[in-house]
Every structure is written in structure tokens, then in C-alpha cells.
């Protein structure tokens, strides 16, 4: 009887291992799906070329139909504030200025940050800059913004950040203006 039980455990273990491994022995180059975080939650991400760690924390989203002299090509600008932090003794560079941020709509469409002339030019006063200053000094953080030109039905969805190792981090985006800097950001965008 013990022999049968051992054989069953051994068979189950082999099946589990076979299901977990890939037949060709190569690693899948695509990042594994991650659970979407909430705004305010921090992700430790790889810097450009995988060098260093940048802590990315999206905090606020504001939807506006005009930002200074810029008007959207679609219906709205979705402007997101995020903290980029660095606890190391050396500066680290995020992928924010290299297209690291994307907006994934509820219907699955992906929109890159700064996808129109207006969205690429938004730099609200009182924030470090627009578009995400890429280099974060040692032992510091900065609050940056990133903007997307979207249609009204594309509000909400998921903010995606792809780091220097190609790993995608995701945050759920509110359908309405929200976050600790919503009022200040909306005022700065006038």
C-alpha cells in the first residue's frame, strides 16, 4: 500500500514539474502578469539598462479638457503625478522619459505617455517637471507628471510602467479626479 502511495506522490510531483517547466528549456521573454496595484502603492523597479532601483509611486490622476494653452487632440488629458524615489547612494535613471509609462484602456488599447503634442508638452508649475525627469538623485525622491491624450470613454483603466528590465508594473486608475494632489494639480494645469 505504501508503494502505491509513494508512486502516486511521485507521479503528481512529476506532473507538477512538467506543467511548470517549458519544453524547450528557454525562459519566456514576456513579463509575467502582475496584480494591479492601487494608486499610492510603491513598486521597486529596475532603472534604465537594469541599473539601480527606482521606486515608482503613482499618486494622483486628473482629467482636464485644457492644460494651459494646450488642448487635447481627443477629448481629455489624463495627467498623473508619480513619485520617483531612490534610496541608493548613486543616482538612478527611470524609463519615464523613454516611454516607460502607458495607459491601458478598459477595452485593452495601449496609449503611450505624451501621445500628442499637447500631452507631451504638459509641465505643471509646482511639480518637478512634465514627462518624468529621468534621473533621481541619491537618497531622494521627486514628484513628476506624465500625461496622456485620451477620449472620454478611455478614462479609468490601468497605468502601466515598464522598467529597465522590461518588467511591466500596473496600477488601477480611477474614473474620476483622485489622489492627494488632485486640487493642486488641477490648479497648476489652468
**CA dihedral (60, 66, 71, 76) positive or negative:** positive
Question: pLDDT tens digits, residue range 111-141?
Answer: 999 999 999 999 898 886 555 557 899 999 9
CA distances from 91 to 15, 47, 131 (A): 46, 10, 18
Specify whether the CB–CB gap between 52 and 46 falls below 8 A: yes
Q: How many CB atoms lie within 10 A of CB 45?
A: 23
Question: pLDDT tens digits, residue range 73-103?
Answer: 999 999 999 999 999 999 999 999 889 999 9
Predicted TM-score (pTM) of the model is 0.80
Specify whether the CB–CB gap between 76 and 65 falls below 8 A: yes
**Interstrand relation of 110-112 and 43-46 (parallel, antiparallel or unpaired):** unpaired
Amino acid at each position: 500500500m505504501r508503494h502505491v502511495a509513494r508512486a502516486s506522490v511521485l507521479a503528481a510531483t512529476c506532473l507538477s514539474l512538467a506543467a511548470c517547466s517549458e519544453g524547450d528549456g528557454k525562459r519566456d521573454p514576456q513579463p509575467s502578469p502582475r496584480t494591479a496595484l492601487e494608486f499610492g502603492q510603491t513598486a521597486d523597479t529596475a532603472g534604465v539598462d537594469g541599473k539601480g532601483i527606482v521606486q515608482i509611486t503613482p499618486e494622483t490622476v486628473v482629467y482636464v479638457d485644457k492644460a494651459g494653452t494646450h488642448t487635447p487632440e481627443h477629448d481629455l488629458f489624463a495627467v498623473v503625478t508619480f513619485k520617483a524615489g531612490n534610496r541608493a547612494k548613486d543616482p538612478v535613471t527611470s524609463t519615464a522619459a523613454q516611454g516607460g509609462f502607458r495607459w491601458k484602456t478598459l477595452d485593452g488599447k495601449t496609449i503611450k505617455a505624451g501621445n500628442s503634442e499637447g500631452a507631451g508638452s504638459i509641465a505643471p508649475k509646482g511639480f518637478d517637471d512634465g514627462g518624468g525627469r529621468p534621473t533621481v538623485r541619491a537618497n531622494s525622491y521627486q514628484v513628476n507628471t506624465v500625461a496622456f491624450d485620451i477620449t472620454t470613454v478611455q478614462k479609468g483603466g490601468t497605468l502601466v510602467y515598464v522598467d529597465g528590465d522590461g518588467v511591466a508594473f500596473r496600477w488601477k486608475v480611477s474614473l474620476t479626479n483622485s489622489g492627494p494632489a488632485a486640487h493642486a494639480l488641477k490648479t497648476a494645469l489652468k
